[in-house]
Structure formats: structure tokens, C-alpha cells
């Protein structure tokens, strides 16, 4: 596998992983939970999703030919609480991720060296993906943390459960060494459901 294909596959798996973490968090929450705010200055999970979706639609719509900060984007509105339930959260969430994945599918060896722009700043394809991967991971982490605060002791862990690291490591080190992406086991478990 060449560098470009390996990079795109690895990056796609990481985006898939963060998408999955968000979805596993939403699954544990009610409509009311998704609208909960720690205080009036904090964002609800619904608002964080609205911002992520707005960012994704702006960054990835025609990203090879248009600036990633679209003139039609109203970033300030993304922080207004207009999403009212889980159905609307999932609609916004999926619309944003679908736009990103369609953009990723448009990248190939023939256009991989092309510069793309965000607010008139040129980015290589790798820089654009890494910038947004970090941004999305940041907000998904906020979503997971907020969901965990809401659920308290009812929270179902999305990673290695507390006090289970030793058991987890024993299982991993009992296996033969192999080439694998760290997200493979998480994504496969989800596909099996």
C-alpha cells in the first residue's frame, strides 16, 4: 500500500472512531440530557453537535475548489440552542460526517498534492485533514466528558473500564504481534451489532 492510500485509510479510521465515540455517547442519553448545560456559559451536547456539523459542512463542501470557510456559514448561530431532540442531533451529526467522508472519497493520487484553503490559508491535504481531525477529537472529547458527567455511575465506558487496565493489557500481550490500526477492534465490535 502506498503512502497516500495508507494515510487516507488511517485518517478515515480515526474519523470513524471519533464518530463512533459520539454515537455511543448519544445512545446513553435522553433528549433532555442532550440539551443539558453545566451553566449558562457552557454548551450543551446538542450545541456542540450543531457546531461540528456546521464546521464539517463548511470545510468539506467542495473543499478542493472553494475556501473551507464558506460565505454561507453562520458560525455564531452554531452556538445557539436550536436543536431540540436526539433525532435532530443525529440528523445534524450524520449530515456533517457524510460531507466529510464524501470529501475524503474525492481524494486520490492525482489531487493529493493540491493546496486547499481555509480562510485564505493554504493547507496540504494532510494538513487540512489533521487540522480537522484534531478539532473534531477535541469536541468529541467534550461530548463524551459531558455525557459521562450527566450519566454518573450509570455511564457505560467507551474504552478500557476503570481498574481493568491490567486485564486488558494481559489479553493484548498474549496475542501475536501484528500490523493493525488501533481503531480496528472498536470499529469491528460496532459492526457486529
pLDDT in tens, 20-61: 999 999 999 999 999 999 999 999 999 999 999 999 999 999
Cα distances (angstroms) measured from residue 11 to each of 3, 127, 130, 165:
12, 12, 8, 26
In 3D space, the residue among 82, 89, 81 whose CA is nearest the CA of residue 41 turns out to be: 81
Question: What length does the chain have?
Answer: 193
The phi and psi torsions of 121 (rounded to 5 degrees) equal -95, 125
Q: Is the pLDDT of residue 188 over 80?
A: no
**From start to end of the chain, where are the E strands?**
116-118, 121-123
Domains of the chain: 3-191 (1.20.120.450)
- Measure the CA–CA gap between 136 and 159, rounded to whole angstroms: 18
Which tens digit of pLDDT belongs to each residue from 168-185? 899 889 989 888 888 877
Q: What is the DSSP letter of 123?
A: E
Amino acid at each position: 500500500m502506498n503512502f497516500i492510500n495508507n494515510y487516507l485509510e488511517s485518517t478515515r479510521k480515526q474519523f470513524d472512531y471519533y464518530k463512533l465515540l459520539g454515537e455511543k455517547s448519544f445512545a446513553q442519553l435522553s433528549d433532555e440530557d442532550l440539551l443539558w448545560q453545566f451553566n449558562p456559559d457552557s454548551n450543551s451536547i446538542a450545541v456542540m453537535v450543531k457546531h461540528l456539523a456546521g464546521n464539517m459542512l463548511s470545510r468539506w463542501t467542495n473543499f478542493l475548489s472553494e475556501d473551507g470557510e464558506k460565505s454561507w456559514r453562520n458560525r455564531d448561530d452554531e452556538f445557539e440552542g436550536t436543536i431540540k431532540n436526539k433525532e435532530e442531533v443525529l440528523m445534524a451529526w450524520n449530515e456533517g460526517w457524510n460531507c466529510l467522508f464524501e470529501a475524503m472519497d474525492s481524494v486520490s493520487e492525482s489531487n493529493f498534492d493540491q493546496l486547499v484553503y481555509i480562510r485564505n490559508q493554504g493547507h496540504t491535504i494532510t494538513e487540512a485533514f489533521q487540522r480537522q481531525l484534531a478539532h473534531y477529537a477535541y469536541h468529541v472529547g467534550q461530548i463524551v466528558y459531558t455525557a459521562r458527567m450527566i450519566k454518573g455511575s450509570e455511564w457505560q465506558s467507551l474504552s478500557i473500564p476503570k481498574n481493568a487496565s491490567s486485564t486488558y493489557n494481559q489479553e493484548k500481550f498474549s496475542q501475536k504481534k501484528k500490523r493493525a490500526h488501533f481503531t480496528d477492534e472498536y470499529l469491528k465490535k460496532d459492526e457486529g451489532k
